[in-house]
Structure 1
Amino acid sequence: MKIKGFTLIELMIAIAIVGILLSLAIPTYQDYTVRAKISEAMNVASALKVMVSEYYITMAKLPDDADTAGIDTTFSSEYISAIDYLKEGDEDSKAIIKLTLSENVSQEVAGKALLLTAIPKTGSLHWLCGREQEASQAIDLKYLPSNCR
């Protein structure tokens, strides 16, 4: 007599393999969703970069504050809880757009900030993307877009 079907051991092995695959896939997917949400916040930032760049090209200097740049600091979105504009250094050394991420992105990055730094270079602005340097406020590098790492 020939028995057809799976034995209990075969089923347990299959379930164990599926469990191992899921234990690897779920954290990777969660990291991916956080990166996607941060990328969406960066899309908002691209409009802010244009505002600062246009001001710089027109006036030949960095805006002194957010109002001068045309940046609405009261703006918030699903993934951005606050926007700040800071001008640092003497004259036109650099300007920073700071995007504070909301808890809708992830609890790991909630309240932490992305920094977009404008550095004047012969008639145009060179933009750098980064994160806070203080360890408690720094976004983990694995969540940053590739051009910010």
Structure 2
Amino acid sequence: MSEWFHAEGSRQVGPVSAEDMGELFRGNRIGLDTLVWREGLPAWQPLRTVVEELGLTAVPAATAAANVPPLPPVPPGSPPAPPSSAAPYAGARALPMQAQKKPLSGCAMTAVIGGAALLVLVPVCAILAAIALPAYNDYTIRAKVAHSVAALQPLQVQVAEFVNREGRCPTRADPDFPAHDHYTGQGLSSVQFGQFENDHCGIEATLAVGESKVDGDLLWQEYDPQASRWECSSDGADKYLPVNCRD
């Protein structure tokens, strides 16, 4: 199968097959005056002189010979030299060359997938953080408050024994009862002993756990001698209190 070249300006285009030459001609991308060459031709020739060989519409050879000036011969087997830009040819255009797309490399694919994952994960993580962080902070505060409440349990035994023995409520002035600031290291800025308005004896403590949401809240432990039972209450928010101290 012959390989053909055709001229475009001062440069040559090819090789292309005879079938491709026919497609170029029928698509008006080369014309009858376009210079062409294949191995075996003595020189560049206008397309009109080889239309029969290519199976295209024939033109009289005499007309072709009369209208086309002779071109320098080309040695057999050697690549054709580009024709002069002054040589007459009509409608010749180079075949459109489309750059071959390179497939994405493994690193590029990883970057694309990673970027898409980030677009999904970042909003999800932000939503989870907006939900989880406040919940975790509340849990931390509840744990600190629970620790402070637990620090009062030994005092409950001491108060109950005093009431049963003395028949009255203890005060800070009674022996063996700690000073009001004795429990500052356990999240309580002040601890008071005395009698409540309902005549129950008990403990009043002020929270100081290092959290602004609860520091300064009052915590009450009331002892009912008739039922030998303790009740816990507070003026703080229920969500930070132990279950037994909530309203």
Percent identity between matched residues is 24
Question: What corresponds to 2:229 in structure 1?
Answer: 126
Q: What stretches of structure 2 of length at least 5 have no aligned partner?
A: 1-102
Q: How much has 1:69 moved relative to structure 2?
A: 6.9
Deviations 1:44-74 (A, max 9, x none): 1101111101212333x23242333732123
Q: How much has 1:113 moved relative to structure 2?
A: 1.0
Between the aligned partners of 1:42 and 1:64, the Cα distance in structure 2 is: 19
Structure exhibiting the larger radius of gyration computed from Cα positions = 2
For the residue of structure 2 that corresponds to 1:77, the secondary structure is: helix
Deviations 1:69-110 (A, max 9, x none): 7321231224111111121348xx302311101151x10111
Contact 2:205–2:220 at 8 Å: present in 1 too? yes
Candidates 168, 172, 178, aligned match of 1:66: 172
Between the aligned partners of 1:38 and 1:80, the Cα distance in structure 2 is: 9
Q: Does 1:145 align with 2:242?
A: yes
Output the amino acid matched with 1:129. Answer: C
Question: What corresponds to 1:88 in structure 2?
Answer: 196
Between the aligned partners of 2:145 and 2:114, the Cα distance in structure 1 is: 47
Candidates 21, 36, 45, aligned match of 2:143: 36
TM-score, length of structure 2 as denominator length? 0.51
- Distance verdict in 2 for CA 1:55–1:94, change over 3 Å: same
TM-score, length of structure 1 as denominator length? 0.81
Contact 2:181–2:189 at 8 Å: present in 1 too? no
Q: How much has 1:18 moved relative to structure 2?
A: 0.8
Contact 2:202–2:223 at 8 Å: present in 1 too? yes
Paired residues in the alignment total 137
Contact 2:151–2:186 at 8 Å: present in 1 too? no
Q: What stretches of structure 1 of length at least 5 have no aligned partner?
A: 132-137
- Distance verdict in 2 for CA 1:148–1:69, change over 3 Å: farther
Output the amino acid matched with 1:31. Answer: D
Output the amino acid matched with 1:142. Answer: K
Between the aligned partners of 2:175 and 2:128, the Cα distance in structure 1 is: 49
Contact 1:63–1:69 at 8 Å: present in 2 too? no
Contact 1:51–1:69 at 8 Å: present in 2 too? no
Larger RCO: Structure 1 or Structure 2 (Cα < 8 Å, ≥ 6 residues apart)? 1
Q: How much has 1:21 moved relative to structure 2?
A: 0.7
* RMSD value, Cα: 2.1
